[in-house]
Amino acid sequence: MEINVKKNISFREKELISGLIADNYFVEIDGRVVGFSESRKERALVYYVLEKYSDLNMDECDEANEDDFIDKQVSNGNFDQIISKIPSNEYMILMKDIDAKIEFKKRKMDEENNIAVVIKVFLDKLIEKIPDKAEMATILENFKDFDMDKFGELKDVVKLLGGDK
């Protein structure tokens, strides 16, 4: 079976599929990356090369039999036939873009998981919960009507905050 192959695709398409392929490299659970998968990345690469560079009927490739379809295209040599007809610089640009996107996301993950960043995020969330001056004045005003002698240690806290009678 002769497969018609596009020699190149638009930069926009390369940008799109390189991002989708790179995303498949990361294994996520509940929005957190928990691992990496070369096989998932390779599977996505095969799928998008078949879809974007060839005239294969991708309608056969529904979600239920997607893995079988992709495996069949690799095992019968169709994928290699397509790759061999794509100019090396075209394929190289796609591969470099995929690798760059993976490295960028890994660096971003490292930055997000840096202990200083984790502490900063925690402190920022804590600061959001602390009442501002007006809210604190309202809280202290409400405490003035209480008999603070009944509250023991809380009395000392209120004194520190400037709410002593």
- Predicted confidence at residue 157, as pLDDT, reads 73
Summary mean pLDDT of the chain = 84
Locate the domains of the chain by residue range. Answer: 11-112, 123-160
Question: CB-based burial of residue 125 (10 Å sphere; 0-12 exposed, 13-18 middle, 19+ buried)?
Answer: exposed
Tell me the C-alpha distance between 99 and 50, whole Å: 19
Q: What is the pLDDT of residues 69-86, one digit of tens each?
A: 889 889 999 999 999 999
Where do we find the tokens 């599977």? 43
Q: What is the pLDDT of residues 14-51, one digit of tens each?
A: 999 999 999 999 988 887 788 899 999 999 999 999 99
Tell me the C-alpha distance between 135 and 161, whole Å: 13
- Residues 27, 34 contacting (CB under 8 angstroms): yes
* pTM for the whole structure: 0.64
Query: Percent of the chain beyond pLDDT 70?
Result: 87
Q: What are phi and psi of 35, to 5 degrees?
A: 180, -175
Nearest to 7 by CA among 86, 66, 105: 86
Confidence of residue 1 (pLDDT cuts 50, 70, 90): low
- Predicted confidence at residue 92, as pLDDT, reads 94
Q: What is the pLDDT of residues 5-18, one digit of tens each?
A: 999 899 999 999 99
Hey, CA dihedral for 92, 67, 50, 85, is it positive or negative?
Answer: positive
pLDDT of residue 126 exceeding 80, the answer is: yes
Taking residue 102's Cβ as centre, other Cβ atoms within 10 Å add up to 18
Nearest to 23 by CA among 127, 119, 101, 117: 101
